[in-house]
Structures are given as structure tokens and as C-alpha cells.
Structure 1
Amino acid sequence: MDIDLNEQEQIVIAKIAAAAQKSGLESYLVGGFVRDKLLGRPTKDADIVCVGDGIELANAVAAQFQPVPRVSVFKNFGTAHINILLPHTREAFDIEFVGARKESYQRHSRKPQVKPGTLADDQKRRDFTINALAISLNKNDFGKLVDPFEGVKDLDQKTIVTPLEPEQTFSDDPLRMMRAIRFATQLHFNIASETLLAISDQAERIKIISQERITDELNKIIKAPKPSIGFDLLYKTGLLKLIFPKMVALAGAEIVDGHGHKDNFYHTLQVLDNVAKHSDDLWLRWAAILHDIAKPATKRFEEGHGWTFHGHEVVGGRMVPKIFSELKLPANDKMRFVKKLVELHLRPISLTKEDITDSAIRRLLFDAGEDFDALMMLCEADITSKNRQKVKRYIENFKLVRERCKEVEEKDQIRTWQPPVDGSEIMQIFNLNPSRPVGILKDSLKDAILDGIVENNREAALEFLKSKAREIGVA
């Protein structure tokens, strides 16, 4: 076989080949599994194409394993998939089966009209030459690599190329434009010049793709080792303006009276890459993307001073839920995490002054809570100056902030702290229904304790609340 398989994979592939031969179905390993094996990348799934009924083959293969895995069938697409545990390692391994087919598209839709076809037909419908590779599982030529579009050469040359004319490939299924950029980002490949030009020419076609599919590809780009590669390509091809215009609004630098500001788009990409060096957390990476998203909305030129972006962290925080909704990202604790980090990303730098109080440290620890370390990682990633001395000074300052925070946290346990009297108790003590006065009392108590005005115990809290209640007329 032209690819190296480990012992577990050899056992699985042998079972698939035996089932296919017994069923009289010509079958092949295709696509990403072959590509990744040739690149030496780890694989957790495989695609099998057979000339005939892919669902029939899936059932025949499933019967080769004990216990017999469940066969998930997608009749509309003529596909089926099973999930098995690899022998010895017991790691999950997905196998998808499809009958070889040829496709034709109508311009208004990415859903093709499908007809049964040959392996050659199936390879022609693939998105890129590196994904059109196939390896025979048939007895007469088992292990032979079938490479009609010189995909191996493109792997060697680290190039993304379409099997057919790129205009046709991208017009048929515009999501392939984002897939090209995603593979270029993940694999650190170049996109062939004619393929890249076709993406720019066909960019408007992305509008027929559902937001969910676009965001799925976007997240895969964000999860790559160096996501800036993908965003730069999305920007230069015009795709980003169509799928995420608020990010494009960050691009460019304006100069007035000799005062200029940095290009916040490329600054954001550098921050994103800096985070990616230290964390695989998708949502921390989204916080990097959105940390300056409100700078275009808050940009002002002040005579004698230059450009300002006052309050961009507050405005940016307010923008996060709408952006998540538009991009069909989850409106849950992940969104709230990103919102929090956008809102707080300037706070640590304000704590680098010598005369900073324990109160300010307590407030940051309380507001950041369990996300304090993620916030500090974002803040450190936000240092993108080319001045090494400046970078060194900022890093040292953040180190001091971490030390101060550690001291205060050990003393006050603020990150997990809750006021000794909560909102429900306040309502009970003062005979109040949920209302604005309850919020005033609750927030006032929290602020007083964080500021060190009131001791952090129940007795002192109750005394303070009684006094505050009289002040606002609810006692």
C-alpha cells in the first residue's frame, strides 16, 4: 500500500476490503484520510467510496466487528457511517461510506443533482486535487494509488489546486472557497494563483451558503496553529467583507495632522496568533478577534492629542451578543466569556501603576472570577509593539499585576467570593419584591466590601444594609 498504516488501521482496512470483495463492490479509500496519511498527520476517520451502494457496504462492514456498531444512514445523500473502536487502543474511529457519483449543480443552490458514477466521476467532483486521491481496496490492485489530477505533486509542492476549472468548482459549491483557505491555513499551503483569483471573482457566491456552514469553516480557520493566514486570505479575496464586515471595518490606518493610528485589523490578527501560541481555546481566540471590534465605532480625533478610542471595551462588550447571533455562534456561557474578556481587556494595564490600591485589585479579581488567567493571557497577547524595550516593560508590568493579584487573592479569596448577604435575603429582610432598590442595596454592599469600607462578614454587612436602606427610603 502506498501509505503507511498502523497495526490498528491495517486491521480495519482489511475488514473493509474483505466485506467489499464479498459484496462484489469495487471500493476505495479516498479524500482526507489518504491526504493526511501521505502528510504524516494523525487521522481519526476515513471515507470509503464504492462503485455501487455505499449503504449496503456500510452494513456489510459493520457486521465484521464485534460488537456490531450502529449504522447511521442518510438516504437522501446515499451515505452511511459507522463509529468503531480501534483494536487494542480502543480509540474512536469514524468511517463514512458513499457510492461513487457524479454531480451537476444549479446556480441558485449548492445542493447537487446526483447520479451513480464511476470512481473517475467521483474524483472529478472533489474540491481539491489533494482531496481527490484514492487507494484501491480491490483484490486485483489492492493498495494502488489512483491520482488522476497529480494530487501527490501538489502535496509535495504544498499547493491548493482544484481538479477542474476553479471557476466551475467554486460556482458549483461556494463553500469550497472557504475550504481552500481553511486547508491553506491548517496545512500552511499556498493557494495556486488561478485558484486564488477565482475565489476573488466568485466571492459573492458565498451568499447562497448557510451561516452555520460558513461559521463552521471560520471556526476551523480560527483553530489552526496560525489563524492569521486564513483571515488575511479571507480579507484579500473579499470573502471576509461578505461574511464578517465588522472585522473588515478594523482595517486601515488614518493620518491627520501627522497623527496616525495602527491598522487595527492586522493588530487583531497578531493578537490572535499570539493567543494561538499558548492556547487551543476557541473562545479565548474569539475574544482576541473581538477585543478591539468597537474601535471603528469609537474612533475620534482630538486636536493636539491624536486618535482616541475611548470606551471601545464597553461598546465592544455590548456588540458581542449581536455578533454571536449574526454568526450563529452559541448564545451561552461561551458568549458570556468572550463578552467579559472584551469588557475587561484594558483593566490589567491600568493596574500597572505603583500606587494601585488593593481595592482595584479586588475588583478585577471579582469581575474576572475564574477567567482571570484567560484575561491575563489576552492582555499579554495584546502587546504587539515592534519596540522590544516597550514589550519587555509591558510584560514585566503584567508580571507585577499577577503577583499583586496573587497576594490579594491569597488574603481575600475574592475570585470565589460572594457577599455575605444575597439578593433574596435583602428582599426578605426589607420586605421587598424584585425591584430597583434591591439591586441598589446588593450592589452597594458588594462595592463597599470590595472597597474595604465594610468588613467582609455578615454582621457588618447587615449594619451597612440597614443604613443604606434608610438612605434610599426603604427601611
Structure 2
Amino acid sequence: MGVLARADAAVRELYPLLEGLIARFEESGHALYLVGGSVRDAALGRLGHDLDFTTPARPDVVQAILDDWAETVWDTGIDYGTVSAAYKGQQIEITTFRSDVYDGDSRNPEVAYGDTLEGDLTRRDFKVNAMAVELRSDGPEFHDPMDGLGDLAARVLDTPAAPEQSFHDDPLRMLRAARFASQLEFDVAPRVLTAMKDMAGEIQRITVERVQVELDKLMLGSLPERGIDLLCSSGIADYVFPEIPAIAMEPDEHAQHKDVYAHSLKVLRQAIDQEEDGPDLVLRWAALLHDIGKPATRDTTDGKVSFHHHEVVGAKLARKRLRKLKYPKHVTEDIAQLIYLHMRFHGFDGDSWTDSAVRRYVTDAGELLPRLHKLTRADCTTRNKKKAARLARTYDLLEERIAEIAAKEDLARVRPDLDGNEIMEILDLKPGPEVGKAWNFMKELRLEEGPLEREVAIAKLREWWESR
């Protein structure tokens, strides 16, 4: 089925749901168009539950129609000509034709309503998002003045107007190009890439909050490595996440990849291949960033390249950058902790780790342990099949050790055998720093020796206390 036929079929499937809305717009004398990403996704066979519409009707008319038809209506975007609604599981946004004017300083336009569909479509970011389907009671009519279908068939992103003008109006569109490259698995047109390279610095006009949103959408796409590579090759990553392109020139210690950058993209893909319940943003970011500490730790002593403690430096760099991008604290800390722990496994050979070492591995990872398993396995990108099989088997052994110990004790929640109240009673202490020191001793003892009988734990606590 061709893209146009697929789009037509998908739109017709919406008619039973939307017939009341279509009738109300016709009664008011105004056209209603499915538009933008909704038409694109319909043509790609991936239409979801968020539907975007445009119309020549002004917002007050739109709101009156929706009030009469939808289950819920809200007008938080009405200053920009948008009224939203919910109806039978669909999220609906209807925006009045726009012909915005940009001041060239911010990405926020001076909102101006338009009078034509083509004028509204021309202002959009990419041709594949500049298609519309008029919804009429006698059937849909397709509108594609920019040949978005041609770009869709060619799997390419190009702008309706000159890309330089489009990106000057709204630099966020350059990030959206990378995001769509990831989500849709499209390439950008040569002139778009040229403009992105020439105008990369314009991205500094965009707030970090908006940058973060687009980066996350990119990372959650089906092919994030394509989006990341576009940001790096265009120079935009130098402004939004410079630690990523910085690894492009660093050869890894085994010279098995062109550079650490290529290795990191492969680790990202291998981590994605292990996802079980949909895209995992924390795992994906940790996989991409796990080696960003290598440039700062590169050492060529004796002619060999090494990156000692790059995981420590990498965790600090990731934490600093993610904070600048205003990521939530728990997301930042989880990503940084995975980076910090990703080399821990390489000291394990099957027999050398004590039960204490296994406990510490599990305890330090905490709730991140399943992700750490995936990240560590993904970090093996050697082309040597025997070595890859050996590493995989060694990690299998570690997981078996974890399972064996977990069967005997609660590894998920390692706690001292005595709590703070018991420690205060046994040592006759009042609340204060000394109790914390005693608790930490008992925690270390628990990690080292596993669960102890109460009498043994009390004896060891008293012995430690007296030895101080």
C-alpha cells in the first residue's frame, strides 16, 4: 500500500469517531483539517491517539464547537490559537490558521492568524509535517502543496522554506530534525545539513528546558544513534552536550573501534536491544555517556593507551551536564551511578570475588542492578567472537553468584543486623554522630560476613566499640 493510500485508509477509520465534530464544523461554515504530524503518521501507518487539526475558524468559534461535542475541553493554549479536548480516548488539538512573525531573537513568534491553508502549512518545520487532510462529511480530501509525500517516500527531512530562514525563525527546529531522524529513521536533506552546520550556534537561543525535552524525545526514538550522530556532525552537540562529540577522536584502549564515539553508539544500540518493557531513558543515556570520562583520563605511558578511572570522571561529567540541562535529580543520579559502576564487573573472573564483593556489587547498584546488568553486557563490542562469548559467560557466572546469595539472604535490602535504636541501647548512647559510626560499622560487617545471629552481632559491635 502506498503512503497516500495508507493515509487515506487511516483517516477514514477516524470518521466514525469524528463525524459529530465534522458535522459541527460544516454547520458553522468552517473547514476542518487533520494536519501536520497526524497526517505524517497516518501515511506511515503509525497514527496514535493525539490528533492535530487546523481550521480558519477563530479560537472562540472552535471552543464553542468543542464545548458542544467533546467530553473535556481546555484552553491553556488559546493565546496561540489552540483549543484542546478529549473525546473517547483521543487527545485533540485544534489550532486556527497561523501566519506567525518572528523577531529573530527568541523562538516565540508574534501570533498572527492566517486566512489560507497553504500559508499555514508553509510556516511549518518540515515538508513531511506540512500536509493536511480536509475532513468533510462526503469523505477526506488530501492537501500537499509542499510535496511532503515525496519526502515521506524518500525518507528525507526538508524544510518548506529555505532552511536558513526556517532555523533563524526557530532554532529549535534543528533539534527537531535530529529528533525526527531518530523517531522516523529519516535522513536530512543536504541543504538542511548545510544550514545546521552554518547555524549551529543559533541553538543557544533555546532554553535548556526545551533542549532537554527534545533530547529525551530523540533518545527515546527507535534509532537514537542516528539523531545523536546528526547533532555531532552538524556541530550542534558542541553547544548542547559537548561531552559527546569530545569522545570522537579518542581511540579505545584495544584499538577495536575507530574511536570511543563509535563504540559508544554501538553500546547504546546493544543496550536498546536488551530493553524488555519499552524504551528506558536512563539506560540509554548511561549507555551513550558511559565513556565520556575517557578524554580527560587518556594515558599513553609505555606506548599503550589507557583510561584509568574514566568511570569516576565520567560520572562527574555526566552529573554536571545533566544538571545544567535541568534533568530531574533522580534521573541525573541514576545515570551517573550507572556510569560510575559500569567498570566494576571487570574485576570479576568467576572465582576471585568473595561473597562480600558480590554483596557490595548488588548493594552499590541497588534498584539499578537490572540496568547495570544490561549496560555491562552492552559494553562488550569486541569483534572477537571467542572473547565476546567468554565475557558473556563470565557475566552469567556473576549473575549466578548473585542468585545463589540472594536465595540465602535478602540482597535487595542489605541492612545491619542491629538498627539504630538497638545500637543506642546496647552501647548506652544518645542520638548523635557516634550512633551513625556504629551503624556504618554494622553495615560494613553485614556486607563482609552476611547475616549474623543476634548474639554474634552484639558481641562484634561491643568488641569494635571497645577497640576504639
The 1:326–1:40 alpha-carbon spacing in structure 2 relative to 1, beyond 3 Å, is same
- Name the amino acid aligned to 1:25: H
CA distance in structure 2 between the aligned counterparts of 1:262 and 1:409, rounded to whole angstroms: 41
CA distance in structure 2 between the aligned counterparts of 1:321 and 1:458, rounded to whole angstroms: 40
| Aligned 1:147-296 pairs, distance under 5 A | 147-253=144-250, 263-279=259-275, 280-296=279-295
Contact 1:445 1:465 survives alignment (8 Å): yes
CA distance in structure 2 between the aligned counterparts of 1:254 and 1:369, rounded to whole angstroms: 32
The 1:427–1:314 alpha-carbon spacing in structure 2 relative to 1, beyond 3 Å, is farther
Partner of 2:455: 459
Q: What's the TM-score once normalised by structure 2's chain length?
A: 0.91
CA distance in structure 2 between the aligned counterparts of 1:133 and 1:6, rounded to whole angstroms: 13
Farther off after superposition, 420-429 or 410-419: 420-429
Contact 1:365 1:409 survives alignment (8 Å): no
The 1:387–1:196 alpha-carbon spacing in structure 2 relative to 1, beyond 3 Å, is same
Matched residue SS, 1:70: strand
1:33 deviates by 0.8
CA distance in structure 1 between the aligned counterparts of 2:18 and 2:252, rounded to whole angstroms: 62
Partner of 1:297: 296
1:337 deviates by 2.2
Partner of 2:36: 31
- Name the amino acid aligned to 2:43: L
1:148 deviates by 0.3
Partner of 1:69: 72
Contact 1:127 1:176 survives alignment (8 Å): yes
CA distance in structure 1 between the aligned counterparts of 2:27 and 2:424, rounded to whole angstroms: 74
Partner of 1:340: 337
Partner of 1:395: 392
Partner of 1:329: 327
* Number of residues of Structure 1 aligned to a counterpart in Structure 2: 458
**Per-residue deviation, residues 360-398 of structure 1 (Å, max 9, x unmatched):** 112212222332221111100000112222211111111
Q: Does 1:78 align with 2:81?
A: yes
CA distance in structure 1 between the aligned counterparts of 2:396 and 2:257, rounded to whole angstroms: 27
Matched residue SS, 2:336: helix
Matched residue SS, 1:83: strand
CA distance in structure 1 between the aligned counterparts of 2:251 and 2:267, rounded to whole angstroms: 21
CA distance in structure 2 between the aligned counterparts of 1:59 and 1:73, rounded to whole angstroms: 15
Partner of 1:43: 48
Contact 1:270 1:384 survives alignment (8 Å): yes
1:297 deviates by 2.2
- Name the amino acid aligned to 1:368: A
**Per-residue deviation, residues 77-133 of structure 1 (Å, max 9, x unmatched):** 121111222xxxxxx321101110101211111111222212111001111111000
Aligned-residue sequence identity (percent) comes to 35
Matched residue SS, 1:355: coil
Contact 1:55 1:79 survives alignment (8 Å): no
Partner of 1:137: 135
CA distance in structure 2 between the aligned counterparts of 1:259 and 1:122, rounded to whole angstroms: 52
CA distance in structure 2 between the aligned counterparts of 1:341 and 1:249, rounded to whole angstroms: 20
**By percentage of residues, which structure has more strand?**
1
- Name the amino acid aligned to 1:465: L
Match of 1:442 among 432, 439, 444: 439
CA distance in structure 2 between the aligned counterparts of 1:175 and 1:51, rounded to whole angstroms: 26
Contact 2:238 2:245 survives alignment (8 Å): yes
CA distance in structure 2 between the aligned counterparts of 1:186 and 1:366, rounded to whole angstroms: 36
CA distance in structure 2 between the aligned counterparts of 1:418 and 1:187, rounded to whole angstroms: 47
- Structure 1 unmatched ranges of 5 or more: 86-91
Contact 1:55 1:73 survives alignment (8 Å): no
1:260 deviates by 9.6
| Aligned 1:340-359 pairs, distance under 5 A | 340-359=337-356
Q: What's the TM-score once normalised by structure 1's chain length?
A: 0.90
The 1:255–1:163 alpha-carbon spacing in structure 2 relative to 1, beyond 3 Å, is closer
1:355 deviates by 3.0
Matched residue SS, 1:101: coil
CA distance in structure 2 between the aligned counterparts of 1:193 and 1:84, rounded to whole angstroms: 41
Partner of 1:89: none
The 1:6–1:422 alpha-carbon spacing in structure 2 relative to 1, beyond 3 Å, is farther
Please, what is the CA RMSD of the aligned residues?
2.4
Match of 2:23 among 9, 18, 23: 18
1:255 deviates by 9.9
Contact 1:321 1:331 survives alignment (8 Å): no
